[in-house]
Amino acid sequence: MPELPEVETIRNKFRQGTDDTPSLIGKRVTGTELLWERTLDTPSPEEFSARILGQEFTDVGRRGKYLLFHLQQDTLVIHLRMSGDLLFEAADDPIAPHHRLLLYLDDEYRLAFNDMRKFGRVWLVKDPQSLLAHLGPEPLDENLTPEDFHQRLGKYRRQLKPLLLDQSFLAGVGNIYADEALHQAKLHPQTRSHTLSLADITRLLYALQSVLKEAIRRQGSSIDWVYRDGDFQNHFQVYQRTGKPCYDCGTSIERITVGQRGTHFCPECQPYPNDG
């Protein structure tokens, strides 16, 4: 579920702290509890516990949708997938449903990885580069120019929507923000990537960046019961607005399936290109 803006919001929460959550930086891991074995990808549970105990958090980063919790000797890498969340709790709070991994901190607090659908994964590695090597550029990297984007897009003859969701093409965009950015750029989700003009591509890159920045500013999107603090769900133009009028032209928003993902768009503002 969480995409770049939600992951960035969580990263900021644990790096800087909030009104009710202290920063993780400087806290020491004093205990671990693995409640669902498959949540831990690497290394074995025994080695994980032995290696992480005693280490202090030194920084919290993000690459694409991966959270990077830097420790003194290792990096704890977490991917939240569809339903993962991270919670800062008192060490003696009752263990909530769907908690999968607990890290006790200085015997006073704990960091809880909660993940209803169990798709999320955790790694403890010396160097996260090997895990992240497959990722494409960060969409908010200011060095990513429309010309770069043009060149990357031209290498494929793929539908735009699945291409934007491909993390090796661009890191961090998921189903919500792909639909929102394509609407802002006035591009049909099934447009073939190699048919776009430089003007189209410039508009698409700008739309991706402005949608992601605005979502980060609003602390992400809160759907269901996760990420309650986010506000961006109140500003969706197309996502989950099937049958409702487009704010720009009044036409009913349509929902189709593209690359096996629900896809929302305005058939008037985002017409299917004539050449397919």
Q: Which residues bind DNA (CB under 7 A)?
A: 1-3, 6, 38, 64-65, 79, 81-82, 97-98, 116-119, 134, 156-159, 162-163, 165, 167, 174-176, 220-224, 226-227, 230, 255, 258-262
Q: Which is nearer to DNA, 7 or 29 (CB)?
A: 7
Q: Which is nearer to DNA, 12 or 167 (CB)?
A: 167
Amino acid type, 164: L
Alpha carbons 168 and 49: distance in angstroms, whole number:
31
Q: Which is nearer to DNA, 21 or 159 (CB)?
A: 159
**Nearest distance from residue 227's CB to DNA, in Å?**
5
Alpha carbons 256 and 263: distance in angstroms, whole number:
5
Largest Cα span, the chain: 63
**Nearest distance from residue 30's CB to DNA, in Å?**
29
* 244 annotated active-site: no
- Strand 40-42 and strand 121-125: the pairing is parallel
**Nearest distance from residue 224's CB to DNA, in Å?**
4
Phi, psi of 233 (to 5 degrees): -60, -25
Q: Which is nearer to DNA, 4 or 105 (CB)?
A: 4
* 2 annotated active-site: yes
Alpha carbons 130 and 127: distance in angstroms, whole number:
7
Residue 54 CB coordination number (10 Å): 12
Q: Which is nearer to DNA, 72 or 242 (CB)?
A: 242
CA distances to 54, 160, 161, 184 from 4, in Å: 30, 18, 16, 18
Residues 2, 5, 128, 189: which is the catalytic one? 2
Residues 11, 65, 158, 161: which is the catalytic one? 65
| Closest residue by Cα to residue 153 from 170, 173, 138 | 170
**Nearest distance from residue 72's CB to DNA, in Å?**
27
**Nearest distance from residue 63's CB to DNA, in Å?**
11
Residues 56, 137, 261, 267: which is the catalytic one? 261
* 28 annotated active-site: no
Alpha carbons 29 and 226: distance in angstroms, whole number:
25
Alpha carbons 38 and 247: distance in angstroms, whole number:
44
* 110 annotated active-site: no
Known catalytic residues are 2-3, 65, 261
